[in-house]
Structure formats: C-alpha cells, structure tokens
Amino acid sequence: MPEQYEKLPLLDMRNITKKFGAVKAVDNISLTLSAGEVLSLCGENGSGKSTLMKVLCGIYPHGTFDGDIYFAGERLTAKGIRDTEQKGIAIIHQELALVKQLSVLENMFLGNEWGRYGMLDTDKMYLRCQRMLAQVKLNIDPHTLVGDLGLGQRQLVEIAKALNKQVRLLILDEPTASLTESETAILLDIIRDLRHHDIACIYISHKLTEVKAISDKLCVIRDGRQIATCSADSTSEKEIIAMMVGRELTELFPPRERLIGEEILRVENLTAWHPVNRHIRRVDNASFTLRQGEVLGVAGLVGAGRTETMECLFGVYPGRWSGDIWLEGRKTEITDCRDAMRQGLAMVPEDRKRDGIVPVMAVGSNITLAALSQFSGGGILREAQEQHTISESVKQLKIKTPTPEMPIGRLSGGNQQKAILARCLLLNPKILILDEPTRGIDVGAKHEIYKLIGQLASQGMAVIVISSELPEVLGLSDRVVVMHLGQVKACLDNNNLSQEQVMEAALRSEDYV
C-alpha cells in the first residue's frame, strides 16, 4: 500500500456548518482523528458538541449541512444513522437507548438478529454476547434483563453492543455522568484497551480530570465555533476552562457572605422502607437540622439514602415512611409535593429528564408550570404577566434558548437544569433542595449555579445540596451531613473539611457528631 494512503486519518470532517434557521449551531468546524486515537470534545452546554456529533452519525443526514466528511478514506454521504453504523461509527448517548424489558442478549442483537433457515440462531448469538460482555469486563448472564442492571452495567452493555457491530469509531457522550468512581475507572480502562484494537474514540465530558486522563488531543468548541484543537498532555484544566467559557474562572466556588440565622427545619427519626420489599430500610432513623441562610451538603456513597430522605421531605417518596418534621418550630405533616410547596419547600430532582421537565412543552411553560396560580384569576390566565415573568427568569438564569416557545427537550442539559431552577425560584421557597444540581453540566454553567446558590443563601434562603462530587459538597456547604446505608453517620462543620474526613465518617462503624 502506498505510504500516503497509510497516513490517511480514519475521520476527516471538513468545514462543517449546521444551521437552524438563521442560527449557526455549528460554524465551520474541522476535525481529524486517526485509528486508535482518543479525541475529547470540550465546551459548555449548547456550544454545538452534540449537533456536530449528530451530523457525523447521520442523525442530520447528508445535504442538511454544509461541509464534507471522509471516513476510512471514503466520502460519507449518510442518509441516516443506519448508514453510519454500517460504516463502523457508533454513538452512545448520555440517555441510554436500551430496552429495559428485554434481556442483554436481545438488546445486543435488536434489529440485527442472526439466523439460518428462517430461524434465530440463539446459540451463536449467546456465545457472541458472552464474548462481547467479557471484552468490557462485565460478568453477567446474557439472559439478564437490562432493567435489573445498574447504570454502570448498562453503560458497559451499550459499549458491548457497539463492539458487536464491528465499530471503528466510538462516540461517548457524557458516559460517566451517572457512574460511581469505581465504574468510571473500569470504563476508562476499557477505552484505553480499545486503543490497542485500533478503535478510535470521541469522548464528550465536562469532567476535565477524565478528559486529561484519557485523551490524546482535545477540541474546544464555544458558541458553535472551533476555538482550538490541541494536545491533551500540554493543556492544563485552567486553559481548557478559559477557552470553553471565554474567560478565566478564578474561583469556581464564588465567595459569599455567610449570615446563618435561626433553625428553620428539624427532621427527627426519619425512616423510609423500600417501596416493594418492606423489610428493607432505605432511610434508617435519620435526624438533622437546617438553619436560615445555610447551605447544608449531603454526602455519601451510592445507596446511602440521600435522595430518599429528601423525597420524603418533599412528599414524593414512593414507599412508606415515618418521622417527625418541624418547620420554623412547628411540627408539620407533608403528604405530597403540593403540601411541601405550600409550606415553603421546592426541589430540583436528581433525574431531570424523568422528574423535572415536560420535554414536549415550551421552555416558558415548564418554568411557570408550578406557579400558574400567580398568573390567573377568575379562571383567566394573564398571559402578558406570565410572558414577562418568563423573560425575566430566562434573563436572570442565563438560559440559552432561541425562544421561550421552543420545546425544553431540545435544550442542552445545563439549560434544562436552569429552567427547573427558575421554576423553583418562582415559588419563593424558604427551603430549596437541590439533588445533583450540576450532573452532566459544563463548568461555565456550574459556576453560574454555584453563584446563584451563594446569592440565595446570602438572602436568607436555606439550601440543601445533594452531590456525588465531594469537591462540590465541600466548596458549597456550611455543614455536611454524611450518610451511609440510610443512616446519618456524621454532621460536620465545614471548617477546611477534607474529602478524606468525609469518607472516613461515611465508612466508620460508629456515629459521631
């Protein structure tokens, strides 16, 4: 083979431009990628990363964008995602596309079943599935239902499914957003192993430590434009952030005036049982307090009972629970979320796609959904007042949307999260519960949310922050409640508190305060 052909890149995207009306979502971006190379795409939510990948995968078919794509030396003119899959390009979205009611084996061959003489060759598919699962270090039976797997295991099944299609380029969009540290380590090891099989990867993540650990090079995109493509080794996290947001973030956690007032919430002996298996306690006799103007962090490993505790407080826990709740010194009962909102609580849920938004409704309608009574009287909706409030909310939280009438499902994850926050703030809550508020959100949007949390606390609002990222808990909180297996193991004042101290509190056998 002539030397010039050997050096051809596996992927060559030239001058890609994608418009939606007059808006350029992707503006003249060019990328090259060699076999066995890992390229990370970095950029804020809404910067154009996902749009660029949809162009590459054929979700936006040839002819709907300007520019050219060459793959393995041939011009790519895909009419749809099936065309790109046949070429060896596979994408794994942040929201996994597996069918929970089907087995791992059925998902792996869905739409691509193997057969002979008009019948499925189940034995051959079973053995192939076993080999693919072993390649991603997943020791499960192929007949296991996907719905019975954890998020980390499902992510690995998606990768195995892609490998089964003879993938040559694997695109991973926020693959570790919902994974534990140990699951993340396994995934990164698998990507390293794929290099040795000449499989290229495009890795999209807001976790810059992962980007630095796994990438050969990175491309920074801002407002649809390519800011830089550079070596991952020679570029610092600070430089990446500056290119992403167009400015330096000197302090990710902005300083704030801490004016902590009287106790506003007291929870005693809260116990919640598993919705199906009532012998299991998801929360076990948990007690804690919260004061006005305080940011209370809730830390703990997966399964610690953090989310279940807050679901009980907000009246949305699906199972049986008991315990005593005092609000501003008065014992109260909360039976559902309407009770909670009437008594001054608001909550941003952990799973924004499932519990936080109505995807087909407009951004503005999602913002005012819980506060429509503020804009109505006598059965009439005061639309002008509602639209004014929506405009103010979009402006205040810097929600990037071409128009408030756009369906919220079409916004980036960070902008969806800001819209949910805007909805909560319209309720003027005394207590704001934030469950994983920055999951899957870029560093610029994180900074804005951190700044907002500080402002709200300085104005006297009490804020509870649940986060799996310990630096986030420590950077925001005045106190940290540490939970493990449903129990409150410690409540620690955040005076230069370290991650090691929090983990020690979570894992030690005896309680302490």
Q: For 98-155, how does the pLDDT look when each residue is reduced to its tens digit (9 = 90+)?
A: 888 899 999 988 877 787 777 888 888 999 999 989 888 888 999 999 888 877 788 8
Lowest mean pLDDT among 116-125, 279-288, 357-366, 378-387: 116-125
Which of the four pLDDT bands, split at 50, 70 and 90, describes residue 248?
low
The torsion defined by the Cα of 235, 241, 246 and 250, in degrees rounded to 10, comes to: -110
Q: Provide the 10 A C-beta neighbour count for residue 241.
A: 20
Q: Provide the 10 A C-beta neighbour count for residue 513.
A: 9
* Burial of 70: CB neighbours in 10 Å, binned 0-12, 13-18, 19+: middle
**What six digits make up the tokens of 128?**
């192939």
Cβ proximity of 298 and 468 under 8 Å: no
Which of the four pLDDT bands, split at 50, 70 and 90, describes residue 247?
low
Q: Which of 181-195, 435-449, 486-500 has the highest mean pLDDT?
A: 486-500
Cβ proximity of 46 and 415 under 8 Å: yes
Which of the four pLDDT bands, split at 50, 70 and 90, describes residue 8?
confident
CATH 3.40.50.300 residue spans of the chain = 3-245, 263-507
pLDDT higher than threshold 50 for residue 69: yes
| pLDDT tens column, 151-172 | 778 888 888 888 888 889 999 9
Cβ proximity of 15 and 8 under 8 Å: no
User: What is the C-alpha to C-alpha distance for residues 35 and 168, in angstroms, rounded to an integer?
Assistant: 8
pLDDT at 343: 95
Consecutive H or E run containing 179: none
User: What is the C-alpha to C-alpha distance for residues 177 and 300, in angstroms, rounded to an integer?
Assistant: 17
pLDDT higher than threshold 60 for residue 390: yes
pLDDT at 5: 44
| pLDDT tens column, 475-491 | 999 999 999 889 999 99
**What six digits make up the tokens of 288?**
């804690």
- Topology (CATH) of 263-507: Rossmann fold (3.40.50)
User: What is the C-alpha to C-alpha distance for residues 117 and 492, in angstroms, rounded to an integer?
Assistant: 67
Q: Report how far apart, in Å, the C-alpha atoms of 323 and of each of 337, 349, 387, 464 are.
A: 17, 22, 41, 19
Higher-scoring residue by pLDDT: 283, 159: 283
Computed over every residue of the chain, the mean pLDDT equals 88
Percent of the chain beyond pLDDT 70?
A: 95
Q: What is the mean pLDDT of residues 361-377?
A: 91
Q: Provide the 10 A C-beta neighbour count for residue 134.
A: 11
Query: pTM of the prediction?
Result: 0.66
- The number of residues making up the chain comes to 513
- Which residues are CB-neighbours of 186 under 8 A, at least 6 positions away? 137, 152, 156
Residue reference for tokens 């596309």: 97
| pLDDT tens column, 178-217 | 677 777 888 899 899 888 889 999 999 888 888 999 999 9
pLDDT at 113: 79
- Topology (CATH) of 3-245: Rossmann fold (3.40.50)
**What six digits make up the tokens of 133?**
């699962």
Higher-scoring residue by pLDDT: 344, 276: 344
* Burial of 502: CB neighbours in 10 Å, binned 0-12, 13-18, 19+: buried
